[in-house]
Structure 1
Amino acid sequence: MDEMAKNTSGSLCPAMASAEILGDKWTLLLLREMFLGTTRFSGFQKAIPRMSPSILSKRLKTLEAAEIIIRKAAPSGQASEYKLTRSGRELEPIVENMAVWGMRWRKRSIAAQDCDISGFMWDFHRTLNTEGLPDGETTILVQISDRTDLHLWWVIANGATVDLCTKDPGHDVDIYLTATQANLVAIWLGDMTISEALETEAAFLDGPRHLIHAAQDWMAQSPLVTVRPALSI
């Protein structure tokens, strides 16, 4: 008996049939990454560091069996890529609406959860607004003040390309951003602006005046930052 047959609920409800494939946090995170453009096994590992290689492999095979993704062989020496099918692409607004619902109705629970710093910084670096930075390369050193491990992150922007490093890449640092993990997450989620964080000393910036003054223009923020939590049920 194959994996999909074993998980069958016996219900004729189409929603149940969908939930049997999609009703899993790892599957939703994996699909989210594909909607953001990630296509390779190593990329999924960087973006979802708590997902073990065995679980990642299993979820990819499940999505492939359901014809939501296809695996494309790459030239010799290169990693294979995973691509969305038409069926998979149709899931994007569904997953996006789930994220909007979560921000509106479950944001308190999200904020209270233990945040994986590696996954968060991956989101942080790819949501940096590079249009707010000057031309050429800008290196931002993010210092997470209440951690003893994984507390230094180099974010290197050059045009629209942004790289993330946990080891000193040897570039001159243009600006230092220092905050606790909770305050950095709060800024990213839009719970406080960078201006408010600097005024209350919830965060610190050290660098050229033009980069500090333009911080609200380049600071990384969640794509869902405009979704405000519901006040009541």
Structure 2
Amino acid sequence: MTSYRQHCPVSAAAEVLGQSWTILVVRELLHGNSRVSEIARGVPDMSSALLARRLKQLAEAGVVTRLTSTGEGRFALTQAGRDLAPVIEHLGHWGRRWTPPPRSGDLKPNLLLLDICRGIDPARLPREKVSLHLRFAEAPPPRWWWLVLSPEGASSTDTDPRLPAVARIDCTVSALAGVWLGHRTWQEILAERTIRFDGTREAVRNTIGWLGRSRFTGSAPMVSASNRMTEQQFD
């Protein structure tokens, strides 16, 4: 762990959190992921050895604690770790405001869909379990993905869940990321046909309402505006 050898509390905090991947590991723990495999899903490019090392360092710093388990390792945030929630939230808002849109090479369907699922409000989802079928035209395999939606929440999978599909979405990863992060509007994306829907008008309206936008856009999903827009697109 880097030592800056300064008295400043910012320096002391940077010694704990400034190592590569550490902030993202804390982000995953704040999302409620306690198992190592769950944490790893959100940081797929991080090696298992490095993840284990970062968790050990966070435990030594008093940010996380290892839960007693006979099976897979599980970790939980301490009070010190939970106090990082507003810090991570502010970093997200800062990054959305002051950094450019993600580069196409940094976009991965699995991580984008994971983020979208985390942001979906379960209270808005249909009462019966259904799926949304997505095909990413320019992405490397797997290109077919499904979002499974139910009152319990949303999840993504690259295996057909064998559920009624309310709509199919053909898109590029950059187009979906752009509208999710608020860099583009649904009207712009649909006009460009970088996102195309196959479904009824009602299904399209519902889908846009379900997906919403990232909380880091700084505003709630504009469902009423989306409804008016889809009326125009389908007329």
TM-score by length of 1: 0.85
Tell whether 2:196 aligns with 1:201.
no
Q: Aligned to 2:4, what secondary structure does the other structure show?
A: coil
Identity between Structure 1 and Structure 2 (%): 27
Q: Is the 8 A contact 2:129 2:150 kept in 1?
A: yes
Paired residue total: 219
Instruction: For structure 2, list consecutive stretches of 5 or more residues without a partner in the other structure.
Output: 220-235
Give me the whole-angstrom Cα distance separating, in 2, the residues matched to 1:113 and 1:11.
37
What pairs up with 1:208-227 in 2 under 5 angstroms?
208-226=200-218
What pairs up with 1:1-233 in 2 under 5 angstroms?
4=1, 7-74=2-69, 76=70, 78-106=71-99, 108=100, 110-111=102-103, 114-226=106-218
Per the TM alignment, residue 96 of structure 1 is displaced from its structure 2 partner at its CA by 1.4
Q: Aligned letter for 2:114?
A: W
Give me the whole-angstrom Cα distance separating, in 2, the residues matched to 1:215 and 1:111.
26
- Using a 3 Å threshold, how does the CA distance of structure 1 residues 72 and 217 change in structure 2: closer, same or farther? same
Give me the whole-angstrom Cα distance separating, in 2, the residues matched to 1:195 and 1:130.
25
- Using a 3 Å threshold, how does the CA distance of structure 1 residues 56 and 18 change in structure 2: closer, same or farther? same
Give me the whole-angstrom Cα distance separating, in 2, the residues matched to 1:111 and 1:160.
33
Q: Aligned to 2:165, what secondary structure does the other structure show?
A: coil
Per mean C-alpha deviation after superposition, the further-off stretch among 20-29 and 190-199 is 190-199
Q: Is the 8 A contact 1:144 1:181 kept in 2?
A: yes
Per mean C-alpha deviation after superposition, the further-off stretch among 81-90 and 200-209 is 200-209
Give me the whole-angstrom Cα distance separating, in 1, the residues matched to 2:206 and 2:110.
26
Give me the whole-angstrom Cα distance separating, in 1, the residues matched to 2:189 and 2:124.
19
Per the TM alignment, residue 131 of structure 1 is displaced from its structure 2 partner at its CA by 3.5
Q: Aligned to 1:174, what secondary structure does the other structure show?
A: strand
Per the TM alignment, residue 150 of structure 1 is displaced from its structure 2 partner at its CA by 2.4
Per the TM alignment, residue 130 of structure 1 is displaced from its structure 2 partner at its CA by 3.8
Q: Aligned letter for 1:149?
A: P
Q: Aligned to 1:214, what secondary structure does the other structure show?
A: helix
Q: Aligned to 1:33, what secondary structure does the other structure show?
A: helix
Q: Aligned to 2:159, what secondary structure does the other structure show?
A: coil
Which has the higher relative contact order, 1 or 2, with Cα contacts under 8 A spaced 6 or more apart?
1
Give me the whole-angstrom Cα distance separating, in 1, the residues matched to 2:185 and 2:142.
24
Give me the whole-angstrom Cα distance separating, in 2, the residues matched to 1:210 and 1:179.
19
Q: Is the 8 A contact 2:135 2:144 kept in 1?
A: yes
Per mean C-alpha deviation after superposition, the further-off stretch among 217-226 and 111-120 is 111-120
Q: Aligned to 1:204, what secondary structure does the other structure show?
A: strand
* Alignment deviations for residues 77-114 of structure 1 (CA, whole Å, 9 cap, x no partner): x43321111111111111211221111111x1645662
Instruction: For structure 1, list consecutive stretches of 5 or more residues without a partner in the other structure.
Output: 228-233
- Using a 3 Å threshold, how does the CA distance of structure 1 residues 220 and 213 change in structure 2: closer, same or farther? closer
The corresponding residue for 2:222 is none
